[in-house]
Amino acid sequence: MTFDMMIVFGLLGLAVILFVFDLLRVDLVGMLMMVLLPLTGVVSPEEAVAGLSSNAVVSIIAVMILGAGLNKTGVMNSVAAYIIKVAGRSETRIMLIISSTVSVISSFMQNIGAAALFLPATMRISRELNIAASKILMPMGFAAITGGCLTLVGSSPLIMLNDLMGGWWANNSDAVHGEPFVPLGLLSVTPIGLALLAGVLAYFTFFGRKLLPDDACSLDEDCMDKRLEEIYGHDVGHSYEVQVPVTAASATLGELELRPLYHLTVIGIAKEGGREKDLAPMRDSRIDPGDSLWVMSSNRNIREAAKELSWSIKSEHDIFSKENSIEESGVVEGVVIPQSNLSNHSMEELRFRELFHVNPLAIVRGEELIMEEINITKLKQGDTILLQGKWPQFRLLQQKMDVVFIEEIRGEELKPDRIWCAVFFLLLSLVLALGFKVKLSIALLTGALGMILTRIIPADRAYEAVDWRTVFLLSGLIPLGTAFENTGAAAYLANTLMDSIGVPGPLLLMLVISLLTAFFSLVASNVGAAVLMVPLAMNMAAGIGSNPVVAAMVVGLSASNTFILPTHQVNALIMRPGGYKTKDYMKTGIGVTIMYTFILVGCLGLFYTI
């Protein structure tokens, strides 16, 4: 072992420790590797920053912009609506449909592209149905990775496989007794790929999702609701949906006096099972027997009101699930500015609900929180108004009234008239990559640039759409893989292990090859693992009289067995939106890795001659 190898193993150990114990944010771990590797001399400065311009990283940037453009036109809303229509509200069915669809797409395009394109739709579904995104994103990501094993063009190692095997065959004709090399066909790996995909989906259906975390909302990740909850949560509370009994008497909101009695705000009334909805009810709005109400209240107050009025509190939003989605509506703070046209007027006089369809929840004046009779309270300069409503209504209010919102208004204005233009640029990217063999990063950049130039998405918004944490995580891990290969550390580890097992049987050899390839794919890159392991595996197989083609196939398939760490591009992509930590990948991924390995080795005897 050389000194450079020792440095590489040391830096690898440092990265793993930082990942596992969350001692440093993952993107900072990537940047740390990008700095330490050239400082120790194991890679050149050019190699250390090469990850920033790598095909994988540029592809991720481009596909995030493409996804933002599709989201801007409402394409992903349509996809999400269709999935909800097919799957209903079942978390398991939604997970299976999304994961299966992404796996099929990733069988003919890069898995990172398939996962990134479905990410906006998945996030929208999770918000609309109040399902934790963390319960869906990791199954989707693992299915995208596994879906790359369905065809010979689904992942980079499998795309390279015939060329790598052909090169070995030409130089080792004696080992194969002069037999001609027969390349693998497009669907040669499909039987094993289907078995692997079925195993991954079954794992998450019956067991794996229980290991996944619930959604966590943190202050530093654009979570406005968390901050508002800390300020107003004990008084204003949360959103609930309740059912009015059919035996209740009909009454107006004013007659029920819900705000003075319970500090409860009705922000929506649904009649006839949701066919008729009022999202900014007035004092004279009538609540009839059998109506569903959407209310803002503290937990204590809603339970007190429900007990006295015989309401039933639903476990989750049903009729108002779409309106309650963070993509559709939310709660914001507005400040009455100096010389405002709001000053010395009440919201009732200004017809806030009638004209702007927003619901006042509270007024903050100095240290005082006003929740009673807020509609008739005269507003003063410096008052903070807590409002609930749909995002377009807040923009309208901002244009018409002298109020400044503390937070940026969410919910981009969609451009449904540009939907076919956005679809065209997506299809253009796919046609260039699949039909004309244009490099994936260039093909995707073409589509992304098209969306910007045609003003589907502004240039500034395109930059905002890129998750730079993911970019720097991958950019830092790529030179670590380069160092692992260039210093000979990978070859040293592989040769040492092969020497220690002696002359194994065919199945044991395939198991060792699979595990070695999976390890190198985790710590280096799946392409680097394939380049290193294919010749080594074929030599070992020929040495014991086993089929070298099957050994190479094991390498190509095992290069996708990368579930334990967030080092694969797909795992890195879903890490932040899913709120995952490295320990979540380890806890969930160990089971998938073991199952994947045994399904792969077990299928060899069924479908191939080894």
The whole-number mean pLDDT for each consecutive block of 10 residues of the chain, a chain of 610 residues, reads: 91 83 82 94 92 80 83 77 82 93 83 78 79 91 94 81 84 80 87 96 92 61 50 74 94 91 92 91 93 92 93 90 81 84 88 89 86 88 89 87 78 79 89 81 91 93 84 80 80 77 84 91 78 82 88 94 88 85 92 96 85
Helices (H), 108-257: 111-128, 134-147, 156-171, 190-206, 224-232, 253-256
* All residues at 6 or more sequence positions from 211 whose CB lies less than 8 Å from its CB, including other chains: 584, 587, 588, 591
Q: What is the pLDDT, as a whole number, of residue 152?
A: 84
What's the pLDDT at 539?
81
Give how far Cα 434 sits from Cα of 109, 154, 208, 441, 512, Å.
Answer: 8, 11, 34, 12, 34
Locus of tokens 């901050």: 227
Q: What SS3 string covers 120-132?
A: HHHHHHHHHCCCC
Q: In terms of Cα–Cα distance, which of 69, 58, 72, 65 is closest to 110?
A: 58
Top-tier CATH class for 329-405:
alpha beta
Look at residue 224 in the predicted model and tell me its pLDDT.
Answer: 43
Same CATH fold, 329-405 and 224-324?
yes
What does pTM read for this prediction?
0.69
- Identify the CATH homologous superfamily for domain 224-324: Regulator of K+ conductance, C-terminal domain (3.30.70.1450)
Q: Which amino acid is at 163?
A: D
The DSSP result for 311-328, as a single string, is -EE-SS-STTHHHHSTTT
Q: What is the DSSP letter of 352?
A: I
Break the chain into its structural domains and give their ranges: 3-48+75-177+187-215+469-607, 50-74+419-466, 224-324, 329-405
The pLDDT, as a whole number, for residue 218 is 40
Residue 30: predicted pLDDT: 87
Q: Determine contact, residues 403/340, Cβ cutoff 8 Å.
A: yes
